[in-house]
Amino acid sequence: MNDRSRRTLNPEKRPPPWQAVVTGGSAGSMEALEAILTRLPAAFPLPVLCVQHMHPSGTDFLARHLDDRCRLAIREACDKEPVRPGHVYMAPPDYHLLVERDETLALSVDEKVNYSRPSIDVLFESAAQVWGSRLVAVVLSGSNHDGAAGARCIREGGGLVVAQDPETAEQPAMPRAAMQAADSEVVLSPDRIADLLLEISGMGEGDGDMPTALREEDGHG
């Protein structure tokens, strides 16, 4: 199936430089996340912050698994750790992951949000406060609506929201909820999400400011 770009941009106003990527997923999303991260080179210049729903008693297996297979440095996030370009930070099991104003990470054991800790909404909303219109959010497969409110917050702040195409998702409810909440911005398969991240970082085809998928939607392709 063809990927779909549904965002409408003002052709007179180019998007700002992108500063960070946040991702969220639940059931069925690990394969999609791996497909994206394995495509990114070691020199990828943006930090990537990830929330994956998992059992509270889980281990750091996912971070270690991805680190073994990816060229980027991937690790579980630590409290008060500075966010560094070209690094991937995974929320530890049973901790919310947030970004502070000084671009350091924070871990929290506050109440669950959307029955989840870590919660995608918690990460997305805190990141939106820090990076605003320079933030890219990616919502992957999952069976509930966590991430939808955060996606709306990012969209309202001028950031970019990308949803996994529900037809490629094992559980389509989560990306569909994000699409609806964020006014159906960009809907892509995992491989095309990787292509878009390369474009916005200036490492792929296109000019780095306006990704090809968005430029073509606005008639600038």
Query: Which residues are designated catalytic?
Result: 26, 53, 146
The residues, any chain, with a CB within 8 Å of residue 5's CB and separated by 6 or more, are 186, 187, 188, 213, 214, 216, 217
Comparing C-alpha atoms, which of 88, 83, 92 is closest to residue 38? 88
Q: For residues 123 and 126, what is the distance between their CA atoms, to the nearest angstrom? A: 5
SS3 assignment, position 125 = helix
Q: Look up residue 73 and give its two tokens.
A: 């440095």
Q: Which residue has the tokens 């549904």?
A: 6
The residues, any chain, with a CB within 8 Å of residue 89's CB and separated by 6 or more, are 47, 48, 49, 50, 75, 76, 77, 81, 83, 97, 105
Q: Is 189 exposed, middle or buried (0-12, 13-18, 19+ CB in 10 A)?
A: buried
Asked if 107 contacts 65 with a C-beta cutoff of 8 angstroms, the reply is: no
